Structure 1
Amino acid sequence: MLRNSPFFQLYCARLREFGRQPARIFWVYGFPTVLAVVLGYAFQSRPPAPIQVDLVEGPFSAPIEEAIRNHNDRLAVAKASPGDLKSVILPPVSLEVAPRDKADDRLNTGKTVLEIMPIDKTSWSYRYDPTRPEATAARQVIDDVLQEAAGRVNPRQPNDIQITEPGTRYIDRLIPGLIGVNAMGGGLWGIGFFLVNMRIGKLLKCFIATPMPRRDFLGAILASRLTFLLPDVSILLLLGALAFHMPIRGNLLVFFLIDVIGALAFAGIGLLVASRATTTETVSGLMNLVMLPMYLLSGVFFATENFGKSAQPFIQALPLTQLVSALRLVVLEGAGLLHHDILKAIAILAAWAIGTFYLALRIFRWN
């Protein structure tokens, strides 16, 4: 009986159609994996990169150059000593001595982050862009090096305790973020764009001319999308656990449940976006309008706190923010289904799913 139902036949047709297009398989499964690998290795734990600094040559540049060279020599010695934190905490300095005009040009074009201009034997000036975080950090490091070379003694010597264990690194937070992004992309592009293409090709008009219930048509598309989602989540979780030693501290069933609810929310948004669009240009623009704010604001690549307190109510209402936060809570902190923040995220995602599906089905254009 099930094999003859419109729902089952449409579901199988979507699976066969997906398997016949290698490009779709790559973008759904291959690209997120490649992205996770590249970003994981780019942000893996490693000693600090050298700071690029230019020194304006002149009669008073020799003492500054000598102090920086001595700093690099001390770091090389510390690096050879097992357990010496100086080789990990303090960055080396890549120094270039150049005339003033060349140093200015290198700073203005971003080839160096800091320019040192000696004034006399005991004073100097720093030239840098204060809006660049690496420039202000370089200024602090270089000033400490030069002040200590001039005889400054720090009255207190703090101890540095570095956190490097799995669960606290960038890649540990990135993997759940990419899983959330895939749920968003699958819901919008996998459902919304697909329906608009069918509308443009007059296929929707053909389907409604049949005795097939419309709920079977939409249900089959949604079910196939959820089927594609499960291998995607599994691949990224296995990659994080095996390649980057990401801990999985929570219940995987809770993790998959939250991801499915998030996927339903984005499926509703995709259906709503596609409910009236009649051209690929229109639906592409609408989807980018919906997705771009969530890419930037939802904490996938940047912390949500970076955008200020006034933006937090809007950011916290975004479905991707709640999905990514809940996935991270389960994987990295072992939160259960009854955790307050998990229940809050599920409620917001469910509200998005119910609200968008209701609106979309009321205004959806079949012709």
Structure 2
Amino acid sequence: MLESSPLAQLTRVRFLSFAREPEAVFWTFVFPVVLALILGWAFREADPVPGSVGVVIPGGDIPAAFLGSAAAQTLSLDGYADIDNARRDLARGKLDAVLVMAAGTEPRRVLLDPAHPEAELTRLRLAAALRLPRDGPPAFEIETVAQRGTRYIDWLFPGLIGMNLMSTGLWSIGFAIADMRQKKLLRRFLVTPMRRSAFLASFVCSRFLFLVIELALLLAFALLIFGVPLQGSLLTFAVIGLAGTLCFAATGVLLAARARTMEGITGLMNLFMVPMWLFSGVFFSYQRYPEAVHPFIKLLPLTALNDGLRAIMLEGAALTALLPELAVLLGWIVLPLAIGLRVFRWE
């Protein structure tokens, strides 16, 4: 009786229809497991990370007596001869604190950024390393250094800009081409003298019309609403943004070169973008992953774009300092575009 029931028959049809679509099965059952494994790998339990402290002392050589103390157990020490260099690394987040010492081993003062999440813990570790009572009077003067660009939102927003450039670049081109192919509109271009390169280039060029508005709105929102700093040149920011836009536009051309349906292009887009979200440092730093995979992560286009945007906005990096990131983005422009032009089909 159940076999003749319309409800049973329709339920069976829907189940079989779902089971015959690999994309649906993957995103429903496989993807959550893969996502949990990758995030568990990134946020795995690890030994406590030593606090990074820059020690400013004439000559830049840290006294052996200090190196041999308990500081070696809880702190990572780097010697600086110039306090300006130490301040710069503190501003960039490379140091948790700066310990300014005299010619001997007697500490003078400690520079801390209260917005830095490890600042207070590093101060306590320094006090313990110098054998000072936890609640006793400090033997060093604490100097508060308010650095721009050390908040999480300051670090996060360049990654959100990069992610937005990736998403709009891929979806606006990939969806448009796949939709035209599914609706049989591309067939009409077969009888025209237009070359495929001109057709695909029109999609890439159309992104330029929106790029200026898109970048301007995102940057204005970051600066005015959240107070995210822009330490570097606006022109350098635009160049990196342009390179990132071209990169993902070219990738969108490649992904849509053979996609026949909207479901197919959606699966390809997600297959490309999800690794970027997880590995490229959008919401958390890729430094959480083992150091052995960092060279491969740095070859991802969104990693290069995010690193470049953060260097410009938070560190004031010049264009010449971003040549490695530009090289990665250029490679992701040339290769996908060349392959996409070669494998593109009108039907």
Q: TM-score range by the shorter chain?
A: 0.5 to 0.7
1:319 matched to 2:321: no
1:178 matched to 2:142: no
Q: Tell me which amino acid in the other structure corresponds to 2:199.
A: F
2:337 to 344, 357, 362: 357
**CA RMSD of superposed structures (Å):** 2.4
Q: Tell me which amino acid in the other structure corresponds to 1:346.
A: L
Tell me the alpha carbon deviations over residues 72-110 of structure 1, each in whole angstroms, 9 at most, x when there is no partner: xxxxxxxxxxxxxxxx99xxxxxxxxxxxxxxxxxxxxx
Provide the C-alpha distance between the structure 1 equivalents of 2:256 and 2:145, rounded to a whole number of angstroms.
46
Structure 1, gaps ≥5 residues long: 1-87, 90-136, 138-151
1:253 to 199, 219, 235: 235
How many angstroms does 1:269 deviate by?
1.2
Structure 2, gaps ≥5 residues long: 1-113, 116-120, 122-132
Q: Tell me the residue number matched to 1:220.
A: 202
| 8 Å Cα contact 2:197-2:341 kept in structure 1 | no
| 8 Å Cα contact 1:175-1:236 kept in structure 2 | no
How many angstroms does 1:162 deviate by?
6.5
Provide the C-alpha distance between the structure 2 equivalents of 1:334 and 1:191, rounded to a whole number of angstroms.
32
Secondary structure of the residue that 2:282 maps to in structure 1? coil
How many angstroms does 1:182 deviate by?
1.4
How many angstroms does 1:295 deviate by?
0.6
**Change in 2 beyond 3 A, CA 1:240/1:159:** farther
| 8 Å Cα contact 2:244-2:301 kept in structure 1 | yes
TM-score by length of structure 1 reads 0.55
Provide the C-alpha distance between the structure 2 equivalents of 1:255 and 1:344, rounded to a whole number of angstroms.
15
Provide the C-alpha distance between the structure 2 equivalents of 1:225 and 1:180, rounded to a whole number of angstroms.
15
| 8 Å Cα contact 1:273-1:287 kept in structure 2 | yes
How many angstroms does 1:311 deviate by?
2.0
1:191 matched to 2:173: yes
Tell me the alpha carbon deviations over residues 301-342 of structure 1, each in whole angstroms, 9 at most, x when there is no partner: 001111111221221110000001001111111111111xx0
How many angstroms does 1:160 deviate by?
7.0
Secondary structure of the residue that 1:310 maps to in structure 2? helix
Provide the C-alpha distance between the structure 2 equivalents of 1:260 and 1:300, rounded to a whole number of angstroms.
19
Q: Tell me which amino acid in the other structure corresponds to 2:345.
A: R
| 8 Å Cα contact 2:200-2:253 kept in structure 1 | no
1:343 matched to 2:343: no
2:269 to 287, 292, 317: 287
TM-score by length of structure 2 reads 0.58
Q: Tell me the residue number matched to 2:226.
A: 244
Secondary structure of the residue that 2:298 maps to in structure 1? helix
| 8 Å Cα contact 1:175-1:237 kept in structure 2 | no
| 8 Å Cα contact 2:196-2:341 kept in structure 1 | no
Matched pairs, number: 218
Percent pairwise identity: 44
Q: Tell me which amino acid in the other structure corresponds to 2:335.
A: G
Q: Tell me which amino acid in the other structure corresponds to 1:324.
A: N
